[in-house]
């Protein structure tokens, strides 16, 4: 079932984007970003799929947080990030397209049928010299205002402040995104994205028809799970090895796409075949027909540290001493220390609730520590030692240096 889980937000975003274009053909095209994000989604899925158990993430959230970071990347660092994220290289294409996509997803006129909201923010070390152009770009296109914080002297309160923002923006579904220890006095910038979705099915499942049944986690092993049921007309297609079902949410602007291998042990083969191009081919086969649907209720939370995975995918320089984020500060003094992602989803008879958040943590390179302060303004012990023989010749204690004694 891993594939089903990871498809939910991708399907939501693809449909949201296409609907927006149909409504207003004069707006800036979001397609360069949508295409790139879709390619990135399946490339990332290929890296995550080998882990055991359920899997759920928001490719949109991860892509957006990294796109905001990419705005400050230069040289080879920028080229590697653009390659991994499948981003349009020219900012005149990328940034307006992202801005249009964010505006489309946050369009209040679509809020009658479902809740869908995305939010971005920058959290920068106060008095640290970020370039105005970098801050302005993120504000103009990504609606990411800069919040001045103090990572150096108030590390833990700042972590809690960022986590509270994430919690608020995800309707309390994503808690403690940034774990203790992830931020320290070397942190200079954290870029965050949050996305929240809640929608009812266009055709809801009847709770009275939900029944516990066997769910085959493997061909020879079952667990008991609540399977929802309804018979209704949905878009459906199939291949020799696959069944494809599209379940619309109320308003018919967003959908869940379910890919079900016909073989009970067919998930691995499906995962190995799945690409953005394949998904497009399969979706073209969908036709309306009456379908008996049995779908399990489920709820899960997944979390990842993506730095090692993104390095493996082809952007190692961003995490190294070679990192060039001079577009942020005018100097090559920052690198990505971690990319943290957390996602939540619940599917039941009424519909779906999903949320995700991503934090890109930027740190400065190790600097010479300021000289320690040795302020002997309280009682202390001292000794006089012969350095050649290490003999301690005198030992003393100062409790009150104003007391001369006899």
**Stretch 162-179: mean pLDDT:** 97
Kindly report the pTM of this predicted structure: 0.84
185-229: pLDDT as tens digits: 999 999 999 999 999 999 999 999 999 988 888 888 888 899 899
**Domain residue limits, the chain:** 2-200+298-364
Considering just the CA atoms, what is the radius of gyration of the chain in Å?
Answer: 27
Backbone dihedral region for residue 53 (phi beyond 0: left; psi -120 to 50: alpha; all else: beta):
left
| Cβ proximity of 66 and 360 under 8 Å | yes
Q: Is the pLDDT of residue 17 over 50?
A: no
Check residue 314 and give its pLDDT: 97
pLDDT tens across 90-126, in order? 777 899 999 999 998 888 877 678 898 999 999 999 9
Helix (H, G, I), strand (E, B) or coil at 205: coil
Assign domain 2-200+298-364 to a CATH class: alpha beta
pLDDT of residue 52: 84
pLDDT at 53: 86
Percent of the chain clearing pLDDT 90 (strictly above): 54
Phi, psi of 170 (to 5 degrees): -110, 20
**Burial degree of 152 (CB within 10 A; 0-12, 13-18, 19+):** middle
Which pLDDT score is estimated for 385?
A: 58
Instruction: Provide the mean pLDDT of the chain.
Output: 85
- Residues 317-374 have pLDDT tens digits of 999 999 999 999 999 999 999 999 999 989 899 999 999 999 999 999 865 455 666 5
The pLDDT value given to residue 140: 95
Query: 364 with 188: CB under 8 angstroms?
Result: yes
């Amino acid at each position: 079932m891993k594939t089903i889980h990871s498809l939910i937000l991708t399907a939501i975003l693809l449909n949201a984007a296409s609907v927006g274009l149909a409504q207003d053909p004069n707006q800036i095209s979001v397609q360069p970003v949508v295409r790139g994000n879709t390619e990135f989604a399946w490339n990332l899925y290929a890296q995550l799929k080998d882990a055991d158990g359920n899997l759920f993430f928001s490719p949109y959230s991860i892509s957006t947080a990294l796109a905001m970071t990419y705005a400050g990347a230069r040289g080879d660092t920028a080229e590697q990030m653009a390659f991994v994220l499948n981003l349009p290289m020219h900012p005149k294409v990328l940034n307006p397209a992202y801005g249009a996509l964010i505006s489309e997803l946050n369009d209040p006129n679509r809020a009658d049928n479902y809740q869908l909201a995305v939010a971005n923010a920058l959290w920068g070390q106060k008095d640290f010299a970020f370039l105005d152009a970098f801050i302005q770009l993120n504000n103009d296109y990504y609606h990411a205002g800069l919040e001045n914080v103090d990572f150096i002297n108030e590390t833990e309160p700042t972590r809690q402040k960022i986590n509270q923002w994430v919690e608020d923006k995800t309707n309390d579904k994503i808690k403690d995104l940034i774990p203790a220890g992830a931020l320290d006095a070397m942190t200079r910038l954290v870029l965050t994205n949050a996305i929240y979705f809640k929608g009812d099915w266009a055709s809801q499942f009847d709770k009275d028809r939900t029944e516990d049944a066997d769910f085959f986690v493997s061909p020879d092993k079952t667990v008991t799970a609540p399977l929802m049921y309804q018979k209704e007309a949905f878009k459906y297609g199939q291949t020799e090895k696959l069944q494809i079902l599209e379940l619309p949410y109320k308003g018919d602007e967003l959908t869940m796409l379910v890919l079900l291998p016909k073989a009970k042990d067919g998930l691995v083969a499906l995962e190995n075949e799945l690409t953005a191009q394949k998904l497009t081919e399969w979706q073209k086969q969908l036709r309306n027909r009456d379908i008996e649907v049995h779908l399990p209720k489920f709820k899960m939370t997944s979390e990842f540290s993506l730095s090692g995975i993104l390095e493996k995918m082809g952007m190692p320089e961003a995490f190294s001493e070679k990192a060039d984020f001079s577009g942020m500060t005018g100097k090559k003094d920052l690198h990505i220390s971690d990319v943290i992602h957390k996602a939540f989803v619940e599917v039941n008879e009424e519909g779906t609730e999903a949320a995700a958040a991503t934090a890109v943590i930027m740190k400065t390179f190790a600097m010479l520590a300021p000289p320690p302060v040795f302020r002997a303004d309280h009682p202390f012990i001292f000794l006089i030692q012969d350095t050649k023989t290490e003999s301690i010749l005198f030992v003393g204690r100062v409790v009150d240096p104003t007391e001369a004694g006899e």
